[in-house]
Amino acid sequence: MAVLQTPWYGKAVEALKLNGKGERTQEAYARHVRKLIEFFNGMAPDQITEEELKRYLIHRQDINKWQPNTMRICYSAIKSFYLHVVQRGWHLLKVIKAPTEKTTSFCSVTGGSQRHSEQGCDFLPGSGPGLQSWTDIP
């Protein structure tokens, strides 16, 4: 695991372990806290204000165009870090939530495919390996 070079790193890893997070989660969370610190040019995380944190999160979502799954990990990492390590009870930490993505996947079945989405499954007769997108459905 790459070491986050701040005095906060040991406290963060300890908090994540106590919370039952695995090594890969610890690495992902450390990476997001590192990106936050880098964004503010090495400022200590306890010096970052709630308003600055809000600006950072909006920047990542609107300017960097991070996908909802990336934002979800980012929010979880920062929320965990500020609640359990820096011990901030900011309102922002209670309300941040990444937008959900409507996901659609295909699985092969005899004679076609099934579309799985949040609404359920639809059978798509004659669809198969050549299907590239929804626009290809007759």
Domain limits, CATH 1.10.150.130, in the chain: 9-95
Render 32-82 in DSSP notation, one character per residue: HHHHHHHHTTT--GGG--HHHHHHHHHIIIIIS---HHHHHHHHHHHHHII
Structure tokens at 87: 């011990």
Across-strand partners of 113? 108, 124
What pLDDT shows up at residue 54? 96
Q: Are the CB atoms for 134 and 105 separated by under 8 Å? A: no
Specify the pTM: 0.66
Output b/e per residue, 14-48; b: 16+ Cβ within 10 A: ebbeeeebeeebbbbbbbbbbebbeeeeeeebeeb
Cβ neighbour number for residue 11 with a 10 Å cutoff: 15
Out of 1.20.1250.20, 1.10.150.130, 1.20.20.10, 3.10.129.10, which CATH number does the structure's domain 9-95 have?
1.10.150.130
pLDDT tens column, 8-34: 888 888 888 888 999 999 999 999 999
Could you give the percent of the chain with pLDDT greater than 70?
A: 67
pLDDT tens column, 37-65: 999 999 999 999 999 999 999 999 999 99
Q: Are the CB atoms for 86 and 45 separated by under 8 Å? A: yes
